Amino acid sequence: MKATVFHGPRNVRVESVPDAAISLPTDALVRITAAAICGSDLHVYHARTQAVPGFVLGHEGVGIVEEVGRGVSTLKRGQRVVVAGSVACGNCFYCRQGQVSQCEASGGAVFGYGPNFAGKLGDIGGAQSEALCVPMADYTCYPLPDAIDDEAAVFLADMLPTGFFGALNGDIRPGNTVAVFGCGPVGLCAVMAAGLFGTAEVIAVDTIPYRLELARKLGATPVNAPDAMELILGRTGGRGADVVIEAVGHESALHAAMAAVRPGGTVSAVGVFSEPSFNFPIGLAFIRDLTFRVGLANLRSNIPQLARLVESGRLDPRPIISHRLALDNAPHGYRIFDARTDNALKVLLKP
Amino acid sequence: MKATVFHGPRNVRVESVPDAAISLPTDALVRITAAAICGSDLHVYHARTQAVPGFVLGHEGVGIVEEVGRGVSTLKRGQRVVVAGSVACGNCFYCRQGQVSQCEASGGAVFGYGPNFAGKLGDIGGAQSEALCVPMADYTCYPLPDAIDDEAAVFLADMLPTGFFGALNGDIRPGNTVAVFGCGPVGLCAVMAAGLFGTAEVIAVDTIPYRLELARKLGATPVNAPDAMELILGRTGGRGADVVIEAVGHESALHAAMAAVRPGGTVSAVGVFSEPSFNFPIGLAFIRDLTFRVGLANLRSNIPQLARLVESGRLDPRPIISHRLALDNAPHGYRIFDARTDNALKVLLKP
Amino acid sequence: MKATVFHGPRNVRVESVPDAAISLPTDALVRITAAAICGSDLHVYHARTQAVPGFVLGHEGVGIVEEVGRGVSTLKRGQRVVVAGSVACGNCFYCRQGQVSQCEASGGAVFGYGPNFAGKLGDIGGAQSEALCVPMADYTCYPLPDAIDDEAAVFLADMLPTGFFGALNGDIRPGNTVAVFGCGPVGLCAVMAAGLFGTAEVIAVDTIPYRLELARKLGATPVNAPDAMELILGRTGGRGADVVIEAVGHESALHAAMAAVRPGGTVSAVGVFSEPSFNFPIGLAFIRDLTFRVGLANLRSNIPQLARLVESGRLDPRPIISHRLALDNAPHGYRIFDARTDNALKVLLKP
Amino acid sequence: MKATVFHGPRNVRVESVPDAAISLPTDALVRITAAAICGSDLHVYHARTQAVPGFVLGHEGVGIVEEVGRGVSTLKRGQRVVVAGSVACGNCFYCRQGQVSQCEASGGAVFGYGPNFAGKLGDIGGAQSEALCVPMADYTCYPLPDAIDDEAAVFLADMLPTGFFGALNGDIRPGNTVAVFGCGPVGLCAVMAAGLFGTAEVIAVDTIPYRLELARKLGATPVNAPDAMELILGRTGGRGADVVIEAVGHESALHAAMAAVRPGGTVSAVGVFSEPSFNFPIGLAFIRDLTFRVGLANLRSNIPQLARLVESGRLDPRPIISHRLALDNAPHGYRIFDARTDNALKVLLKP
């Protein structure tokens, strides 16, 4: 089958690989009908992870169940599903609390991120391919209603749950003002998710005009990063935002977020950080009573309610799609998304 | 001054009464610029309360502070305020928890509802008049920003906090389906408030076409009451609504609400009941794990966040206004609102 | 095998019945080592349910796994488990939210309660026997650490989760005063569970001296029912209890609970009601802003944290055991528990 | 009057200063009957703050109201009160949410901490003296019931609310295992407070035997710091503590806390940090989904429920008192508490 394979820094190729196949009784084989490139794939693309050449990329995929292991009890051949970006058993200590990113059975394995992120599962394939073997398929696959098309469904694999996780972690209350730093696909999903908690205003911060324009269309007040602090203070009587969602993944953005949040507020980080540590302003945080939350988003546990919101039309992530490419053109998709050229945001790949 | 005075069943008159005046150091005198007729005023209008002829009606008012007692520290002459529909001290055991309807200092006094609802304050005037003496004015009055005009502000006195209270009591989660029984002004405010909690769908139930049509414009799925059960089950996979907000005030609506809510769900009642008790289906509730919440809404404590939402444009209650009348025409306003003729919903009175 | 069989009003017999056996792949066979008689068994005993003679009683059991179906993946032969009193799949819409009493797969089937409470499972056996076939065994059985002995473990099947459910539903905050109406085994477990939420005082109400004395030993302030109202008001500055847990199951107790709770408080009912409805004082509830919650407790979902509390010694339910009988003496156990003679509280049965 | 005055590093003296006196209408003069030395006073004592010689120390005091300004409405001469350690108006945006440490009217002024912590109030006196002028006295003073003696009451000024704040910020759930790093007075109060949230086990970490021994008496499992990690992992199935409360105030303790908390858990810091920043392990925190909360505790807003718990006997902080000295001996008190000699913990000062 064809798949998008990592070969080194800024070097991915679509090439022929051995067909994906079931190996455990709890696996399912899913024929991919739509996949997408995620901002966190760029960490791999830049070889900033300890990635090893040769593995298949991608953890955002939608498709049709083609085969199920004999231990799979709820899925059927022919069923249309979204595959959660990380594998979860649904039954362990963490999964029962909804903290599926910490699943003890899978070790929190992420598809297509290389052996280092494959948790206890050894290597697992990626979704930017023609087919994917899904471990712990009864829970990791989520059946889709017809009302959600592939293009909306692909956001349920990672983007929407991650944006929602950022908003949920912020403990947003009705009437709050929320600032979202970073208007890539995750930041834009956080803009949408924040609105589910009764925000009075969502302020979207970035430096790239087409991203800010899209934030505006999604209901946010856009602001160019250098002007963000002044705008945020101006809109909040000088107090700062009740909640700041950091969707950039840099120390400078974290510091800006902590300066922009009001006393007693929360900074919720969903950006992926490549550095192991940063300089936390604890004197400021102590005087101002801050909460800081950061984590790998819980994907599968948040899909049902998000699917219901997409189904009813209350959430529509499709405006975030900038490109729809054939799987063969994945390398081009990586290039433009990485370079932020061609107004690239969410790049879909269709096998 | 002129005021709307109760004289018996279906008999209110606008007539001259002694000028409202400050009597305690913590009082403020507010010159009313906009007032409104509330569904609960109809209970008085029908003489279903133990109301005594002669008192001035109304608990929804906006105006300008004309005079403050020497114990008032935060309000100034000339300031524009909304007067919360019930008096609250802001400092007692209940007020500190936000349960201002149970204020121990005021006894939860409601303006313009007659001596029986005046709590510990003896009789207090009503807002459907040219001026109002506001007890415990530092907290009971809420200063308005310019961005909220009188017509929107009058909803902050009671309607929006009551709808919000109903939604808050429902413990709505993102992705939920909420049914609102009753599309009078409170029900319509509950429709708007439910949307602050990330509902996937709000189903609005009534029998009157113009009310259902307005619910639709406010974002709800309207349904004629006899068809409600079928629609609610159809939209929720046969489970029932996650939350039902009862905004009618009749036993039959309560029973319908309990039948329409899913197991584990909440029925939140904001209707005003004239009967002292009703037949509660405890067998059903036990088997289905139900929560039932009912109460006099907390008004003042919920005004700040709602004002922020109105100011930012996220909430706009003004479409609920059906009539704008001069104060002299208050009797006509009562008649049409009571009879539900002339597409009457919220009737504003301008002194 | 021997089992406790229902034969009509106040007529149970221990007699030989066909051996329990696995029928579905997800079943497990558990050899019972300790069972107990529950207050709700008395509803069957009195033939107040639509119970049919011939079924085996009991939904509180602990034992050793003897055999598992081929679809059971986590349990092993020889493992010691407590069997949750009601069957739950762990994977459906309700189970994922912890509302296991509403499990869609099992229909909320309760062991040993007769066909009417066996949900979608048809008839299922009872635990007051030598062995029990447990459906959906992977989730319905909970493995026990050695530190929890059989006598403590049997409370995890129903009593402790039910008392905990009552306390959880009360939304108790640190510093609260909680009144528990009814000091049978469930009420006493609610006394213990309320203490987990930081209560300043738990007031235990009953009329039977030995039950009140045990409540006192468990840390509560005991009071004879006729004196309860005065004591509760006296301890709360005249306001009433913040939360009342009703563990009696009669309309009169519900009315007393609603009179004894403070404005803005919660009445949480865990008693089993045999009447289908009761007269709810909505006028009072409206003026006082009350929350009323009632339901079949969620058993399995609350076992892990309760097991941890029993294991660490923070909760010790064993003082509630009044009698330890051989299984053959089950009829005597029913008689004394029903008659409240011989200081009967929790009656254990050992096969 | 006599008072404890700061004169430089490790140099405090009890000397005569001008009598405390009311200056604003909302002030009250409190005759101090018991005060105490706080761990955060040591930051001043070590001249690690920008403290200026000459000011009176102390923010933990209990006493009798001697005089009230004409704007004070609820306090009376002769009334016994605890003075919250930081001034709060009770009415601003933050106070209404219970975030009194961020009070906009007082600027979060702390008594006896020098001009830099006096917020908007300019300099305010300290409680380690014969009398104290209390600004915004209606809210900052909390009237005491007779059942709470001075020795228990002095803990309500700061210690108990700070320990409670640490526990509250941890979002502890019933059945959790909580580790408290640091067994000074605040850490020991956090041990007691954690128990209000239904902990299965509280593990108390320190290096000083008499402090660990007291932690044990208060119900915790004591452990010497070098052995803490192994014990915590051993008690939690290798996962780590659900919640860690950091009550030391050093970077090394923060790092230990983050290593000892389980994935998805919370590190709640109540230690006072003298460094402006620390090296935050964001890679670890991201992979493990951590929440980090730090802040100046909200004192006044948490006093009512804590007072109720002390009054009922559920909380008794008096075992933490190690020394009861005459005010004149304050310098000795500072010396032994700073040196941790003489088994010093909480040092009370009686004017």
pLDDT score of B272: 83
User: Do the chains contact at B71 and D74, CB–CB below 8 Å?
Assistant: no
Please tell me if residue B311 touches chain A, with a CB cutoff of 8 Å: yes
Q: For residues A330 and C74, what is the distance between their CA atoms, to the nearest angstrom?
A: 41
Backbone angle region of B328, left / alpha / beta, with phi > 0 → left and psi within -120 to 50 → alpha: alpha
Q: Are A130 and A118 in contact (CB under 8 A)?
A: no
- In terms of pLDDT, which residue wins out, C123 or A231? A231
Complex ipTM, two decimals? 0.95
Q: For residues B340 and B345, what is the distance between their CA atoms, to the nearest angstrom?
A: 8
pLDDT score of A13: 97
Query: Please, what is the average pLDDT of chain A?
Result: 95
Q: Count of CB atoms within 10 A of residue C65's CB? A: 21
Quick one: closest CA in C to D307, which residue? C175
Q: For residues D291 and A169, what is the distance between their CA atoms, to the nearest angstrom?
A: 9
| Long-range pairs of C96-101 with CB within 8 A, sequence gap ≥ 24 | C96/A301, C96/A304, C97/B264, C98/C298, C98/C301, C98/C302, C99/B263, C99/B264, C99/B289, C99/C298, C99/C301, C100/C298, C100/C299, C100/C300, C100/C301, C101/B289, C101/C295, C101/C296, C101/C297, C101/C298, C101/C299
The percent of residues above 90 in pLDDT, for chain C, comes to 91
When pLDDT is averaged across residues D75-103 and rounded to a whole number, the result is 96
User: Do the chains contact at B286 and C275, CB–CB below 8 Å?
Assistant: no
pLDDT score of D278: 94
pLDDT exceeds 90 at position C120:
no
When pLDDT is averaged across residues A75-99 and rounded to a whole number, the result is 96
Across the interface, of A197, A304, A311, the residue whose CB is closest to B198 is A197
Joined tokens for residue D329: 């001996």
pLDDT score of B53: 87
pLDDT score of C154: 98
Q: For residues B53 and B59, what is the distance between their CA atoms, to the nearest angstrom?
A: 17
Residue type at C67 in one-letter notation: E
User: Do the chains contact at C201 and D306, CB–CB below 8 Å?
Assistant: no
Quick one: closest CA in D to B300, which residue? D96
pLDDT exceeds 90 at position A122:
no
Q: Is A275 exposed, middle or buried (0-12, 13-18, 19+ CB in 10 A)?
A: exposed
Band of pLDDT at residue D241, cut at 50, 70 and 90: very high
DSSP per residue, D231-249: HHHHHTTTS-EEEEEE-S-
pLDDT exceeds 90 at position B101:
yes
pLDDT score of D63: 98
pLDDT score of D271: 85
Band of pLDDT at residue C235, cut at 50, 70 and 90: very high
Instruction: Give the β-pairing of B11-16 and B28-37.
Output: unpaired
3-state secondary structure chain C: CEEEEEEECCEEEEEECCCCCCCCCCCEEEEEEEEEECCCHHHHHCCCCCCCCCCECCCCEEEEEEEECCCCCCCCCCCEEEECCECCCCCCHHHHCCCHHHCCCCCCCECCCCHHHCHHHCCCCCCCECEEEECCHHHHEEECCCCCCHHHHHHHCCHHHHHHHHHHHCCCCCCCEEEEECCCHHHHHHHHHHHHHCCCEEEEEECCHHHHHHHHHCCCEEEEHHHHHHHHHHHCCCCCEEEEEECCCCHHHHHHHHHHEEEEEEEEECCCCCCCCEEECHHHHHHHCEEEEECCCCCHHHHHHHHHHHHCCCCCCHHHEEEEEEHHHHHHHHHHHHHCCCCCCEEEEEC
Question: Which range among A49-53, B335-339, C121-125 has the greatest average pLDDT?
Answer: B335-339
Please tell me if residue C94 touches chain B, with a CB cutoff of 8 Å: yes
User: Do the chains contact at A290 and D295, CB–CB below 8 Å?
Assistant: yes
The SS3 assignment for A22 reads coil
Count contacts between B and C (CB, < 8 Å). 110
pLDDT exceeds 80 at position B208:
yes
Band of pLDDT at residue D115, cut at 50, 70 and 90: confident
When pLDDT is averaged across residues A257-278 and rounded to a whole number, the result is 93
Joined tokens for residue B198: 């990330």
Query: Please, what is the average pLDDT of chain B?
Result: 95
Q: Are C43 and C51 in contact (CB under 8 A)?
A: no
Please identify among residues 53-92 of chain B the ones whose CB lies closer than 8 Å to any CB of chain A: none
In this structure, of B194-203, D110-119, D329-338, the range with the lowest mean pLDDT score is D110-119
Band of pLDDT at residue C261, cut at 50, 70 and 90: very high
Distance of CA D94 to the CA centre of its chain: 20
Instruction: Give the β-pairing of C177-181 and C241-246.
Output: parallel
Q: Is B31 exposed, middle or buried (0-12, 13-18, 19+ CB in 10 A)?
A: middle
Rg for chain B (alpha carbons), in Å? 20
CA distance C79 to chain B (A): 32
Non-local CB neighbours of C265 within 8 Å, separated by 6+ positions: C240, C241, C242, C243, C244, C290, C291
3-state secondary structure D124-192: CCCCCECEEEECCHHHHEEECCCCCCHHHHHHHCCHHHHHHHHHHHCCCCCCCEEEEECCCHHHHHHHH
When pLDDT is averaged across residues A145-160 and rounded to a whole number, the result is 98
pLDDT score of D180: 98
Backbone angle region of A47, left / alpha / beta, with phi > 0 → left and psi within -120 to 50 → alpha: left
Query: Please, what is the average pLDDT of chain C?
Result: 95
Q: Are C162 and C89 in contact (CB under 8 A)?
A: no
pLDDT score of C77: 97
Q: For residues C125 and C105, what is the distance between their CA atoms, to the nearest angstrom?
A: 18
When pLDDT is averaged across residues D318-327 and rounded to a whole number, the result is 98
The percent of residues above 70 in pLDDT, for chain D, comes to 100
User: Do the chains contact at B96 and D304, CB–CB below 8 Å?
Assistant: yes
Q: For residues C22 and C20, what is the distance between their CA atoms, to the nearest angstrom?
A: 7
pLDDT digits (tens, 9 = 90+) for D18-52: 999 999 999 999 999 999 999 989 988 998 877 77
Q: Would you say how long chain A is, in residues?
A: 351
pLDDT exceeds 80 at position D116:
no
Instruction: Give the β-pairing of B290-294 and B321-326.
Output: unpaired
Band of pLDDT at residue A286, cut at 50, 70 and 90: very high
pLDDT exceeds 80 at position A120:
no
Band of pLDDT at residue B273, cut at 50, 70 and 90: confident
Band of pLDDT at residue A114, cut at 50, 70 and 90: confident
Q: Are D267 and D240 in contact (CB under 8 A)?
A: no
In this structure, of A110-114, C266-270, D159-163, the range with the lowest mean pLDDT score is A110-114
pLDDT exceeds 80 at position B219:
yes
pLDDT exceeds 80 at position B171:
yes
Please tell me if residue A312 touches chain B, with a CB cutoff of 8 Å: yes
The percent of residues above 70 in pLDDT, for chain A, comes to 100
User: Do the chains contact at B286 and C273, CB–CB below 8 Å?
Assistant: yes
Task: Please list every residue in chain B whose beta carbon sits closer than 8 Å to the beta carbon of residue A200.
Answer: 305, 308-309, 311-312, 314
pLDDT digits (tens, 9 = 90+) for A207-218: 999 999 999 999
User: Do the chains contact at D175 and C311, CB–CB below 8 Å?
Assistant: no
Task: Provide the greatest CA pair distance for chain D.
Answer: 61
Please identify among residues 180-239 of chain D the ones whose CB lies closer than 8 Å to any CB of chain C: 196-201
User: Do the chains contact at B306 and A175, CB–CB below 8 Å?
Assistant: yes
pLDDT score of B178: 98
User: Do the chains contact at D304 and C175, CB–CB below 8 Å?
Assistant: yes
Q: Is B21 exposed, middle or buried (0-12, 13-18, 19+ CB in 10 A)?
A: exposed
Q: Are B333 and B342 in contact (CB under 8 A)?
A: no
pLDDT score of D99: 97
pLDDT digits (tens, 9 = 90+) for C60-114: 999 999 999 999 999 999 999 999 999 999 999 999 999 999 999 999 999 998 7
Q: For residues D254 and D236, what is the distance between their CA atoms, to the nearest angstrom?
A: 20
Mutate to test the interface with C, among B282, B291, B298, B301 (most CBs of C within 10 A): B282
Q: For residues C318 and C350, what is the distance between their CA atoms, to the nearest angstrom?
A: 15
User: Do the chains contact at B280 and C278, CB–CB below 8 Å?
Assistant: yes
Residue where the block lists tokens 């086990």:
D201
Query: Please, what is the average pLDDT of chain D?
Result: 95
Task: Please list every residue in chain D whose beta carbon sits closer than 8 Å to the beta carbon of residue B304.
Answer: 93, 96
pLDDT digits (tens, 9 = 90+) for D61-72: 999 999 999 999
In this structure, of B42-46, C27-31, D87-91, D210-214, the range with the lowest mean pLDDT score is B42-46
pLDDT exceeds 80 at position C123:
no
Joined tokens for residue D241: 């503590």
Band of pLDDT at residue A281, cut at 50, 70 and 90: very high
DSSP per residue, A188-211: HHHHHHHGGGT-SEEEEEES-HHH
When pLDDT is averaged across residues D289-305 and rounded to a whole number, the result is 97
The percent of residues above 90 in pLDDT, for chain D, comes to 91
User: Do the chains contact at A91 and C71, CB–CB below 8 Å?
Assistant: no
Task: Please list every residue in chain C whose beta carbon sits closer than 8 Å to the beta carbon of residue D164.
Answer: 174
